[in-house]
Amino acid sequence: MNNDDFRQWSRRAADWGADYRDTLRDRPVRPLVEPGDIFRSIEASPPEDAEPMDRIFADFEEKILPGMTHWQHPRFFAYFPANAAPVSVVAEYLVSAMAAQCMLWQTSPAATELETRTVDWMRQALALPEGFSGVIQDSASSATLAAVLTMRERALDWQGNKKGLAGQPRLRIYSSDQVHTSIDRAIWVCGIGEDNLVRIPVGGRFRAMDNAALEAAIIADREAGMLPAGIIACVGGTSTGGTDDIASVAEVARRHGLYLHVDAAWAGSAMICPEYRHFWSGVEAADSVVFNPHKWLGAQFDCSIQFLRDPESHVRTLAIKPDYLKTHGHDGIINYSEWSVPLGRRFRALKLWFLLRAHGLENLRTMIRNHVAWSEGLAAQLAKEPDFEIVSEPMLSLFSFRHKAATGADADEHNLRLVNAINDDGRIYLTQTRVDGRVAIRFQVGQFEATAGDVDAAFVVITEIARSIG
């Protein structure tokens, strides 16, 4: 591909992207394909000779597009959003064109310094204290892994990386069962082991950790010769929005000298709105906080910000400095590869900078407030229907519900059949969960271009299909 071809096809791709966004409401949210359909449509062997771009692009439209789930669809109410505001997509075009490797200050000074500035913009937007600094990770999973590694090293007096875990005291990490499974993976990867992730009972509307039980578990483990290392608290858990009392958990962490990481991957975006900050009251006492602008704010994946109260402990855990990665003649610069597990880094700050400038915080607040209000309205509508029940009340824009099965029918099987029928219909997309062991259907509003009409349509689809299957 020469430069003229590159120009032509770049324009074609940009036009295609705009047309795609225009037609999303005409498409089923989830593809109507069976496993293996796409695989079988693609040639079994790679081509020996170059193929024309016209043919490649046509195959993309004919073979790939029909198998895509449309995450930017305004009626995507499943999981949590993975928004890509159009201005963020434009920024990603530029990032892709430059294709910079932004691991060190010297490998792209502007990328490092823009990251420092935009992370501080977000700190201000969330009203976190000035003492916090931060880094843009690829996802909350990586941020949590970095936090758990730091917990481990701090508890072992910085000997884990050097000596390994053999012969060390048995480490313990504490969380509720409402946290994301990325916490389990972090425990696996860092060598602490799943049996040492202590699940604390939950209670109340937001299924918060029982802090008395948390403290009792820490004391019992110490008396048994184990080494408590840290606590992972949750704000807006994936299943039903589980949210811990952060101030109380932080006090337990302080009394016992434990590292506290707060996972607010989805709900953290809502903290740009002052009226929602009570959900993480006390967060300023955390050692590490993660939230994903790529979920609810509109920054295209991947863009996860980890705020740190003491970045020196974090860097001490993760930094490796061979001579070929040093920037000679400069002191006090930041090399963000020393703040993350991977060495290689994309230029993630540009899309966030574009997004914040193009929309402004007040427009983003309005979007989030609308999503919360629309979700609360739908929950209230369903609650009035005699054959529906609300299982978990709205936490911001997330709630869960069940449809009542016919007498003698299996309620779990009925609701699984319902969510599958809704998704096969294609007009909206939902996911299921389990609450107290029983199947429930999750609903959350979060797509960047959703409207009140899209949520109204969800009510029609849910009730219509529920009654059509009995």
Q: Cα 26–31–35 angle (5° rounding)?
A: 165
Average pLDDT (372-392) is 96
Q: Residue 446: helix, strand or coil by DSSP?
A: coil
Would you state the pLDDT for residue 332? Answer: 67
Domain positions in the chain: 3-71, 101-346, 359-468
pLDDT at 330 over 50: no
Q: What's the CATH fold of domain 101-346?
A: Aspartate Aminotransferase; domain 2 (3.40.640)
User: Beta-carbon neighbour count of residue 296 at 10 Å?
Assistant: 31
Element (H, E) at 102: none
**Domain 359-468: which CATH number of 3.90.1150.10, 3.40.50.10320, 1.10.10.10, 3.40.50.300:** 3.90.1150.10
CB within 8 A of 352, min separation 6: which ones?
88, 118, 122, 136, 293, 299, 303
pLDDT at 341 over 90: no
280 close to 264: Cβ distance less than 8 angstroms: yes
Query: Given strand 431-435, what is the order of strands in its sheet?
Result: 388-395, 398-403, 438-444, 431-435
> How far is 157 from 342, CA to CA, in rounded Å?
23
pLDDT at 238 over 70: yes
Element (H, E) at 412: helix 411-425
Average pLDDT (135-144) is 92
- Over residues 33-43, the pLDDT tens digits come to 889 999 999 99
> How far is 365 from 351, CA to CA, in rounded Å?
18
Partner residues linked to 137 by β-bridges: 304
Q: Point out the least confidently predicted range of 117-121, 297-301, 331-335.
A: 331-335
State the angle between helix axes of 109-125 and 349-384 in degrees (0 to 180), rounded to the nearest 10: 30
Average pLDDT (242-268) is 95
Q: What's the CATH fold of domain 3-71?
A: dopa decarboxylase, N-terminal domain (1.20.1340)
pLDDT at 232 over 70: yes
Would you state the pLDDT for residue 161? Answer: 87
pLDDT at 324 over 90: no
Average pLDDT (36-51) is 92
pLDDT at 337 over 90: no
R_g (Cα) of the chain, nearest Å: 24
Element (H, E) at 316: helix 311-318
Amino acid at 134: G
Output the CA torsion 437→440→444→447 (10° steps).
100
Average pLDDT (236-258) is 94
Which candidate, 147, 79, 108, 189, places its Cα nearest to that of 304?
Answer: 147
pLDDT band at 328 (very low <50, low <70, confident <90, very high): very low
Would you state the pLDDT for residue 329? Answer: 42
451 vs 318, residue with greater confidence: 451
Q: Which residue has the tokens 């962490």?
A: 253
| Plot region of 251 (φ>0 → left; ψ -120 to 50 → alpha; else → beta) | alpha
Model confidence pTM above 0.75: yes
* Phi (first) and psi of residue 429, to 5 degrees: -135, 125
Which candidate, 458, 397, 466, 446, places its Cα nearest to that of 240?
Answer: 397
CB within 8 A of 317, min separation 6: which ones?
146, 149, 150, 152, 153, 154, 158, 161
- Over residues 190-204, the pLDDT tens digits come to 889 899 999 999 988
**For the chain, what is the mean pLDDT?**
92
Partner residues linked to 401 by β-bridges: 390, 441
Tell me the torsion sign for CA atoms 284, 289, 295, 300: positive
Find how far residue 374's CA is from the centre of its chain.
21
Would you state the pLDDT for residue 344? Answer: 87
Average pLDDT (333-357) is 90
CB within 8 A of 26, min separation 6: which ones?
none
Tell me the torsion sign for CA atoms 365, 366, 368, 373: positive
Which candidate, 77, 375, 443, 461, places its Cα nearest to that of 239?
Answer: 443
